[in-house]
Structure 1
Amino acid sequence: MTRPLRVAIVGSGPAGIYAADALLKSDAAQDPGVSIDIFERMPAPFGLIRYGVAPDHPRIKGIITALHQVLDKPQIRLFGNVDYPNDLTLDDLHQFYDAVVFATGANADRALDIPGVDLDGSYGAADFVFWYDGHPDVPRTWPLTARKVAVLGVGNVALDVARILAKTADELLPTEIPDNVYQGLKQNEAVEVHVFGRRGPAQAKFSPMELRELDHSPNIEVIVDPEDIDYDEGSIATRRANKQADMVASTLEKWAIRDVGDRPHRLHLHLFESPVEILGEDGQVVGLRTERTELDGTGNVRGTGVFRDWDVQSVYRAVGYYSEELAKLPFDVESGTVPHEAGRVEPATYVTGWIKRGPVGLIGHTKGDANETVASLLADHAAGLLPAPTQPEPEAVDAFLAERGVRYTTRDGWYRLDAHERALGEPQGRERVKVVPREGMLDASGA
C-alpha cells in the first residue's frame, strides 16, 4: 500500500482516543503511515469526560490533558457534530476508510425492573448527570423540590449524584457548571440523601478516593449504620484480594463508629437494602420500599423477607449505563454490547471501550481494550482482509459532509470553543463556564 492506512473512529471519548494512540504507536504508523479521522456526535470532544464526570472532580478531568496530547497529533483529524448513522452510515464510512472502529460508549441508563420506575420523581442517573454537566440535548431545568431523596446504586455515579444533590450551589459555583445549573441547584430543597446498596461494605463498587471525598464538604454529614457493617468468608476473601475493596470497607467502618455531627445536609449510606418498589400516589413518588438482605457465605446476599418503607420524594436510579444499538452492527440486548472477537465485529469493522465490553472498569482499563482491538485491526490489514476504500483521499470526507449540509467542527474549532469557555469563566475566577446550547457551541467553534 503506497498510501497511509485510513481509519475512522466513531466516538472521541477515552476509548476512541486510546485506539488512535495505539494505532499511532504501532508499526503501521511507519511509512506510509496511518491517517485517522475521529467522528463525534457532540460539537466538543472527550465524551463522558466532558459530559459524565461530576464538575467537582478536577483531578479526573485532568485526563483531558493526556487525551489532548493524542488528539493534537498531525495524523488525526476531528469531525465534531457528526452523528452516526444520520449524517453518515457504515457504508459511507467504508467508502473512505480501510477500517472503522466504533467507540461510542454507553450513554443511557440501564433499566431497573421494579414497580414504580415510571412515576414522576423517578429519574435515571444519566439524565441528571447530563443536566448538571451541561449536555446540550437535555432540558435546561431540573425539578429539585424533594427534601428527601433516594439514590439506588453503590458505584461512583451514585456517589456523584448523591454528592451533587447534597452540596450547596455555592460550593459548586467555582467549578465549570453553566449558569442554568447553578440557578437550578440554588433552588434544591434536598436536606437528606439516602444511598442504597443491596450487598455489604466489601462489595461496594465505590473508588476509595471518591468515597472519602463525600466527607470533605462542610455541608454534608455522612452517616453509616453500624448494623450495615458485616462480612462473611467471601467478603473477607474479597478484602484480602482487592486493596481498593479493603480501603472502601475500612472507610465505611470508621464512619459507622463515629459520632454523628451537625452539618446541615445528611447523606446516609445504606447497605444490605435491596430496592423492590418505588411507592407512589397520584403518579408521584412518595417513598421507596426495600427488602433487608443478608450475606450467604460467598459474598452474595439473599432476601430476609423483612421490608421497610422509606420516606422520600424522588428516586435516582444509578444502577449502570447502557449502550445504544448501532445501525448495521449486531447487538446483544442483555449485555448492551456489540458481539465481537477481540474487538473484531468483521474485517474492517471493530469496537472498543464500553460498547465492546460493557460499562465496567475505570478509564485506565480502556487502554488495554484499545490495544486488543487495534491488534485485531492490524492483523487483518497484514492478512489483506481489509477491502480498499473507493475514495481514500482525506478531502473526500470534507466534500461529502459539505454536500450533506453537515455543520461540523474541527480540532481548531474545539480550541476556539475551549478558549471561549475559559474567557467566560475568567471574570469570575473560574477555569471555564461551559456553553450549553449546541448552536452556541457551533458558533463559538466557527463551525
Structure 2
Amino acid sequence: MTKLRLAIVGAGPAGIYAADILLKAERKFDVSIDLFDHLPAPYGLVRYGVAPDHPRIKGIITALRDVLDRGDIRIFGNVRFGQDLTLDDLKQHYNAVIFATGAIKDADLDIPGIDAAGSFGAADFVSWYDGHPDFPREWPLDAASVAVIGNGNVALDVARVLAKHAEDLLVTEIPANVQAGLEASQVTDVHVFGRRGPAQVKFTPLELRELGELRDVDMVVYDEDFDYDEASRTAVASNKQVMVIDRVLQSWRQRPGVNNAGGEASRRLHLHFWAKPVEVKTDDSGRVAALVYERTRPDGQGGVIGTGELREVPIQQLYRAVGYFGSPLPGVPFDKKHGVIPNHEGQVLHKDSNERVPGVYATGWIKRGPVGLIGHTKSDAMETISHLINDQASWWQPTDPSPEAIPALLAERGVAWTDLDGWHRLDEHEVALGAPHERARIKVVDRDEMVRVSRGE
C-alpha cells in the first residue's frame, strides 16, 4: 500500500486539526505525520495569543492534547523552518508539506505618529503577557492613560489585562515576570476606540460581558454613541449576538456616573464608538501624548463616513489591535499585500503565474488571513486535506522517506529539538511550579529553560 509521509509546519490548532482530519479521513493509503514548530511547546496562539484569564481556552487545549496524546503524530519542537530545516530538506524526506504557521505580527495602521515611543502593536503585548519566549521579559507600564485601537476580541483582551488588577490574575497561568510587571502598572484609564457603532463591533458577547465583571474597574460608555440608525436597530432586532451585546452596553449606561466617569473605582475602562483614529500626537521627547480621532457616522450601507469633527484624548501609551498579519517563509510563495501564502483552497500557487506548486499546501490563518475562530480552522483544514488526498499523482517522490532520517538530520545539525514526551515533561514542570501557590501552572518563559526541561537535561 502507498504511504503518505507528510510534514506539517506549525503546531497550533490549524496544524493539529489538519493532522487529525487526515488520519481520520477515508483514503487508500497509509499516513505518517511529522509536526514541526519553532517553539519548544505546541498549541501556537492558543498558548501564546489568548489572554490567560480565559478558562474556555483550556477546553480547546484539552481537545488538541487528546489528538497529540494518541501517539500517531510525531512532534519536533524548537525547529526553525528555513534555518534548521528547509523546503529542500522536506522534499527529500516527505511526499508533501502543509504550512500552518498562522499570523503573529500586527497589521499596520497608517496614521501620523503611530511609530512614536510608547506606541505598540497589540500582538507584541499579548506575546509578552502570555510569556512567549522570543519577546522581552519586561514591558513599560508607566502610563496612566492608555489607548487601545480596535473593536475585536484582541482589543478587548488587551484592554482587560491593562485594566485588571494584577492580583486577580494570580489564579491563571500568568508567568511570574508578567505578574510583577502588571503589579507595578500605573494605568488608571484605558480607552478603547472603534470606527463603527456599538451594533457593528467584532467582539463576542462573552468577551464584552467579562469587562463589566472586573473588580474595581468602572465601565464608561457615552450616550451620544447610542443614537442608532435604522441599520443598527435592525441588527439589534434580528441578530441574537448583536442583541446580547447591545443589552450589555445598555446595562452599563444605567450605572451611576457613566458619562462623566464619576464612579468610585480606582480604574476606568472607556468605550468610544464612532471614533476613527487620525493622528497620534507626541510630546517634546517624541513620546505618545494624545490620540486625535474623527467622529464618524453611518453611511446607510453598513459602513461609516467621517463627520469632520476632530477630538483629542490625552494618553501616554497606545496599542493598535487592528488585526494580525502573516509572515513570509523561506522558499514559499507569499502575498505581501494580504499577508498569506497564495493558494486555491489550500493548494499553494506560484505568486506570478497562479500555477499550483506541487506538494505544498496551506491551512489556517496563513491560508485565509487572520479571521474566524476555531470552527473556521477545522473547515479550512478539511478543504486542504481533501485536495491533498486527491492530489496523490503530484506528490513529491522523496529520496529517503524513512522515519529515522529527520532525527538524524536534526542531530547532525546540532538542533536541540523537543518531542511529545518533552512537552509532557514541560507541562508537568509548569503545573508543579504553580502548585505551592495554588495556581493551575506558572508558565516557563525562557526558551533555553523550556528546552532543558523538555529534554530532561
Scaled by the length of structure 1, the TM-score of the pair is 0.96
2:404 corresponds in structure 1 to 395
C-alpha separation in 1, matches of 2:106 and 2:186: 25
Partner residue of 1:279? 281
2:425 to 405, 413, 416: 416
Distance (Å, rounded) in 1 between the aligned partners of 2:250 and 2:383:
39
Partner of 2:305: 302
Higher mean C-alpha deviation, range 278-287 or range 418-427: 278-287
- Correspondent of 2:63 among 63, 66, 81: 66
1:122-173 CA distance string (max 9 Å, x none):
0110110011111111111111010000000000100010011101111112
| AA at the equivalent of 1:421 | E
1:376 aligns with 2:379: no
The aligned counterpart of 1:157 is 154
Letter in 2 for 1:14: P
Displacement of 1:75: 2.0
Instruction: Indicate how the Cα distance of structure 1 residues 334 and 236 shifts in structure 2: closer, same or farther if over 3 A, else same.
Output: farther
What CA deviation, in whole Å up to 9, does each residue of 1:403-445 have, x standing for no partner? 1111000000000000000000000000100001001100110
Matches of 1:231 and 1:122, distance apart in 2: 32
Aligned-residue RMSD, C-alpha:
1.3
Aligned to 2:352: none
* Deviation (angstroms), 1:446: 1.2
CA drift of 1:217 comes to 1.4
Q: How many residues align?
A: 442
Rounded Cα–Cα distance in structure 1 between residues aligned with 2:4 and 2:379:
22
Aligned match of 2:94 in 87, 92, 97? 97
**2:361 matched residue in structure 1:** 350
Equivalent in 355, 358, 372 of residue 361 of structure 1:
372
Residue aligning to 2:251: 254
Indicate the SS of the match to 2:279: strand
Counterpart Cα distance in 2 of 1:155 and 1:414: 32
Distance in 1, Cα, partners of 2:227 & 2:425? 53
Cα distance in 2 for partners of 1:391, 1:232 equals: 65
For residue 326 of structure 2, what is the amino acid of its counterpart? Answer: S
- How far apart are the structure 2 equivalents of 1:251 and 1:295? 22
For residues 170-189 of structure 1, the C-alpha deviation after alignment (integer angstroms, 9 at most, x for no partner) is 11122111111111111100
Q: Deviations over 1:319-339 (max 9, x none)?
A: 111110122222222211111
Q: Take 1:359 and 1:102, find their aligned partners in 2: how far apart are those partners?
A: 15
Matched, 1:27 2:26: yes
The DSSP-based 3-state class of the residue aligned with 1:364 is: helix
Say whether the 8 Å CA contact 2:147–2:319 is kept in structure 1. Answer: yes
- 5 Å-filtered alignment, 1:311-350, equals 311-345=314-348, 346-350=357-361
> Does residue 144 in structure 1 map to residue 141 in structure 2?
yes
Please list every run of 5 or more consecutive structure 2 residues that lacks an aligned counterpart in the other structure: 258-262, 349-356
Percent identical: 58
Task: Show the counterpart of 2:188.
Answer: 191
Q: Deviations over 1:17-56 (max 9, x none)?
A: 110111011123x6x5211100010000000111001011
Q: Verify: 1:9 aligned to 2:8, yes or no.
A: yes
Give the conservation status (yes or no) of the 8 Å contact 1:347–1:377.
Answer: no
State the distance in 2 between where 1:219 and 1:137 align.
33
Which has the higher mean CA deviation after the structures are superposed, 253-262 or 325-334? 253-262
Which residue number corresponds to residue 435 of structure 2? 426
Q: Secondary structure at the match of 2:366?
A: helix
Structure 1 counterpart of 2:452, one-letter code: D
CA deviation digits over 1:301-358, x for unaligned, max 9?
1001100110111001111111101222222222111111110012210000000011
Between 1:220-229 and 1:352-361, the stretch displaced more is 220-229
CA contact (8 A) 2:165 2:215 kept: no
Contact persistence 1:272–1:294 (CA under 8 A) = yes
Task: State TM-score, norm by structure 2.
Answer: 0.94
Deviation at 1:241, TM superposition (A): 5.1
Q: Distance in 1 between matches of 2:227 and 2:306?
A: 15
- Aligned-partner residue type, residue 146 of structure 2: V
Establish whether residue 109 from structure 1 lines up as the match of residue 106 from structure 2.
Answer: yes
Are the counterparts in 2 of residues 279 and 289 from structure 1 also a CA contact under 8 Å? yes
Q: Is the CA contact (8 Å cut-off) linking 1:235 and 1:298 kept in structure 2?
A: no
d(CA) in 2 for partners of 1:124, 1:339: 25
Residue in 2 that maps onto 1:84: 81
Deviation for aligned residue 1:220: 1.4
By how many angstroms is 1:240 displaced? Answer: 4.9
